[in-house]
Amino acid sequence: MSLTSDEAPITPDRAAPPAFGPERFFNRELSWLAFNRRVMEEARNAAHPLLERLRFLSISGSNLDEFFMVRVAGLKGQQLQGIDDPSADGRSPGQQLAEIEAEVNRLVDQQQSEWRRLHGLLGERGIIVHGAGSDGDALRTALRRYFIDQIFPILTPQVLDPAHPFPFIPNRGVGVIFDLERKATGETVRELVLIPASLPRFVPVPGEASAFVAIEYLVELFADLLFPGFAVRSLGVFRIIRDSDIEIEEEAEDLVRLFRTAIRRRRRGRVILLELEADMPPELAAVLGADIQGHEAIVAKVGGFIGLAALSALVEVDRPDLKFPAYSPRFPERIREHGGDCFAAIRSKDIVVHHPYESFDVVLSFLRQAAADPDVIAIKQTLYRAGNQSPVIRALIEAAEAGKSVTAVVELKARFDEEQNLLWANQLERAGVQVVYGFIEWKTHAKISMVVRREGQGYRTYCHFGTGNYHPVTARIYTDLSFFTADPRAGRDAAQLFNYITGYVEPERLELVTMSPLNMRQHLCTLIDVEIAAARAGKPSGVWAKMNSLVDPDIIDRLYAASAAGVPIELVVRGICCLRPGVPGLSETIRVKSVVGRFLEHSRIWAFANGAPLPHRRARLFISSADWMPRNFDRRVEYMIPIENPTVHDQILDQVLVANLIDNEQSWILQPDGGYVRLTPGDKPFNLHHYFMNNPSLSGRGAALHQRQDVPTLAFTTREG
């Protein structure tokens, strides 16, 4: 496959392996915390409706929980095992944990400050959340019957004494610990009340519209019913986070059995974080610290509501005036023009669908049509995350029951979706689908669907390459691309990719697709090298890329080399970025921005000037399922595919990528010191999410594209203007 349009590349000598250290790389974990701070900052964005601000705050809390369950747990495990290998920025596990703890404390203080602010604003708008400081007598009167009938039978107080060992507390478990005094004798008793996960975290207050009380506060209010004959001397709320990662045994004989066992074991993982109310008495904190293995856990004192992720329940209050206006995604006119026949539309020309602005129903229609079409003989599908209610699974089952050959690659190692994927795999197998679990040591993260259809005297293969999961819920809030093609080269490559996963048959020659863990990193380095050669030869050069995370030292090193050669580099990295931009002598030509807003930017798009300035059709353009991280290059099955159809190329390059580059309402610029500065819109505000909600796409317009002039492309604006 040629890398340039007109001439062979002049590939410069490869640089030495990257030199590690804080001068060249940001710490991955601290960069992630900076991202979560940007998420939390959206809770302060007055341009968002009030309940949407609360949603951002709850998301930042949920993100932080997962960070502890996986990333901090991993570092803690290294520390306990005496592993002292430094990160790319030169920090040991112990040093990283110390800095993480300090940064998390600052972040949590800011989250709680924002919760207090939003709590007051919600009250002004008629949404009351009762807690400390509320009228306890009035709440007891309003909720007494509810507590007795609905909560009391479920709670199980447990005494803490030598005869009663400390109970097991599940991951993200919330509880209240009490010091009690028996009124009759003065005897002191210590009790623990765990809040079952089956109970709602917020209970509606009868007789008050849109009024709620946190269930742990309700337990405090009715302590006399739980402990009759006792007086409460002191109490405190706490919560724990456990290690929730699953380690894969390379010699596992049965991957399904291993995961069923590992999921059960994960529920009892080591405690990583113990959260305590800031005013919890020291003696109660000491009990929890000793009995919950707090000596190995990070202990955080929270001056406010513990477990901010639970605030998401309040976002569901029926107050449309306090939420984003409802948005209905468009269905591509190209497919409507073909009477809803997805195959006919794709056969006529490649098409890209931009989610969530264009409906995920296109993907479902593609699979449903394949299931019902008597000429379709085979369907192959990767499944990473499909959700709890999956029309994709139903379509595959219907296809198998109709007698078609259906193969589903179900990824059991999709973190926190392992149990759901086991259930889907079981249902698929019962319907006659050939279920494959892929590699033991690698995750299958590529999002590919392949349909083989009998047409005329032969067969035609239709492919879907996605940057996001086959998940109908996240497809409404994640920005992703669905690329449909009937290009025979893509079909042959997809077939080889599936054979690699199902039969370990390594592809001999791929015509369009590049795969990891085979050679994606090398291909990207070569593409960057072509830009270096162009810059040195005085030709136009440039790298423009959008992704979720940039961590890989080899790729970062090649970008530094490109910057040294004078290649302009514009990166849109939503989350983690370990590259230091704008450093004299290292990365002067590199700019990095992060976009955080109503929709979660998830698509991976990479463009290389290829001897032509952007925008230009000669620029080499790719979409991918991969981020630029070691795990995506070395431990996952991923794809990248070039976009060659002119209309699709224009849409992705001139609309999607350029809109991300010029957004100035939801964008943050990464500074050389690792800080992020929010862009100010100035005289020409541009919000990329608003733009795509209000402007139709190019490739989905069909004949209407030639009849109307309402499909603008965006003039690319460099940092110099």
Write the CATH number for 482: 3.30.870.10
State the average pLDDT for the chain: 88
In a domain, 35, yes or no: yes
* pLDDT of the residue at 254: 45
Grade residue 82 by pLDDT with cuts at 50, 70 and 90.
Answer: confident
Higher pLDDT among residues 532 and 650, named by residue? 532
* pLDDT of the residue at 489: 97
In a domain, 186, yes or no: yes
- Tokens coding 718: 């460099």
Q: pLDDT tens for residues 281-304?
A: 999 999 898 877 655 788 899 999
Task: Specify whether 188 is located in the same domain as 284.
Answer: yes
Task: Confirm whether 602 is a catalytic residue.
Answer: no
Kindly state the percentage of the chain with pLDDT values over 90: 70
Q: If you average pLDDT over residues 639-660, what whole number do you get?
A: 93
Q: If you average pLDDT over residues 650-662, what whole number do you get?
A: 92
Find, among 516, 550, 554, 473, the residue nearest to 641 by Cα: 516
* pLDDT of the residue at 27: 96
Task: Specify whether 672 is located in the same domain as 534.
Answer: yes
Region of poorest pLDDT, from 457-461, 608-612, 707-711: 707-711
Task: Specify whether 469 is located in the same domain as 592.
Answer: no
Grade residue 379 by pLDDT with cuts at 50, 70 and 90.
Answer: very high
* pLDDT of the residue at 701: 58
Residue written as token pair 């005289």:
683
| For residue 457, pLDDT beyond 60 | yes
- Tokens coding 647: 């209309």
In a domain, 13, yes or no: no
Task: Specify whether 129 is located in the same domain as 251.
Answer: yes
Q: If you average pLDDT over residues 259-268, what whole number do you get?
A: 49
Q: pLDDT tens for residues 334-345?
A: 898 999 999 999
DSSP H helix total and E strand total for the chain? 23, 27
- For residue 277, the tally of other CB atoms under 10 A from its CB is 23
Write the CATH number for 154: 3.30.1840.10
Q: pLDDT tens for residues 547-599?
A: 999 999 999 999 999 999 999 999 999 999 999 999 999 999 999 999 999 99
Q: pLDDT tens for residues 616-632?
A: 568 999 999 999 999 99
Task: Specify whether 418 is located in the same domain as 533.
Answer: no
Task: Specify whether 671 is located in the same domain as 544.
Answer: yes
Residues 355, 445, 471, 649: which is the catalytic one? 445
Higher pLDDT among residues 447 and 705, named by residue? 447
Grade residue 250 by pLDDT with cuts at 50, 70 and 90.
Answer: very low
Reduced 3-state DSSP string for 557-623: HHHHHHHHCCCCEEEEECCCECECCCCCCCCCCEEEEEECCCCEECCEEEEECCCCCCCCCCCEEEE
Task: Specify whether 480 is located in the same domain as 563.
Answer: no
Q: How far is CA 404 from the centre of its chain?
A: 34
Task: Specify whether 190 is located in the same domain as 261.
Answer: yes
Kindly state the percentage of the chain with pLDDT values over 70: 88
Task: Specify whether 106 is located in the same domain as 70.
Answer: yes
| For residue 719, pLDDT beyond 50 | no
Reduced to 3 states (helix: H, G, I; strand: E, B; else coil), residue 713 is coil
| For residue 114, pLDDT beyond 60 | yes
In a domain, 439, yes or no: yes
Asked if 570 and 544 touch (Cβ cutoff 8 Å), the reply is yes
CA separation, residue 163 to residues 166, 285, 310 (Å) = 10, 21, 34
Higher pLDDT among residues 15 and 536, named by residue? 536
Grade residue 18 by pLDDT with cuts at 50, 70 and 90.
Answer: low
Residue written as token pair 């069909």:
702
Q: pLDDT tens for residues 146-200?
A: 999 999 999 999 999 887 888 889 899 999 999 999 999 999 999 999 999 999 9
* pLDDT of the residue at 388: 62
Asked if 78 and 85 touch (Cβ cutoff 8 Å), the reply is yes
| For residue 501, pLDDT beyond 80 | yes
Distant-in-sequence, close-in-space partners of 206: CB < 8 Å, separation ≥ 6: 142, 143, 146
* pLDDT of the residue at 700: 56
* pLDDT of the residue at 421: 67
Amino acid at 116: R
Asked if 357 and 697 touch (Cβ cutoff 8 Å), the reply is yes
* pLDDT of the residue at 222: 96
| For residue 710, pLDDT beyond 50 | no
Residue 418 backbone dihedrals phi, psi, to 5 degrees:
-60, -45
Helix (H) or strand (E) holding 130: strand 128-130
CA dist., res. 611 & res. 609, Å (int): 5
| For residue 122, pLDDT beyond 60 | yes
Distant-in-sequence, close-in-space partners of 398: CB < 8 Å, separation ≥ 6: 368, 371, 372
- Beta-bridged to residue 376, according to DSSP, are 453
Q: Which of 487, 510, 533 is the last residue of a domain?
A: 510
* pLDDT of the residue at 469: 84
- Tokens coding 102: 């300090």
DSSP state of 14: P
Grade residue 696 by pLDDT with cuts at 50, 70 and 90.
Answer: confident
Q: If you average pLDDT over residues 655-661, what whole number do you get?
A: 93
CA dist., res. 398 & res. 527, Å (int): 42
Residue 235 backbone dihedrals phi, psi, to 5 degrees:
-160, 170
- Beta-bridged to residue 178, according to DSSP, are 191, 235
Task: Specify whether 430 is located in the same domain as 310.
Answer: no
In a domain, 330, yes or no: no
Higher pLDDT among residues 427 and 5, named by residue? 427
In a domain, 522, yes or no: yes
Helix (H) or strand (E) holding 482: strand 478-485
Residue range(s) defining the domain that contains residue 556: 515-707
Domain total for the chain?
A: 3
Buried (b) or exposed (e) across 587-608, using 16+ Cβ within 10 A? bebbbbbbbbbbbbbbbbbbbb
* pLDDT of the residue at 714: 58
Task: Specify whether 192 is located in the same domain as 238.
Answer: yes
| For residue 432, pLDDT beyond 50 | yes
In a domain, 1, yes or no: no
Q: Which of 510, 544, 576 is the last residue of a domain?
A: 510
Q: Which of 284, 318, 352 is the last residue of a domain?
A: 318
Q: pLDDT tens for residues 596-617?
A: 999 999 999 999 999 876 555 6
CA dist., res. 532 & res. 547, Å (int): 21
In a domain, 327, yes or no: no
* pLDDT of the residue at 708: 43
Grade residue 45 by pLDDT with cuts at 50, 70 and 90.
Answer: very high
Task: Specify whether 653 is located in the same domain as 530.
Answer: yes
Higher pLDDT among residues 437 and 382, named by residue? 382
Q: If you average pLDDT over residues 689-709, what whole number do you get?
A: 66
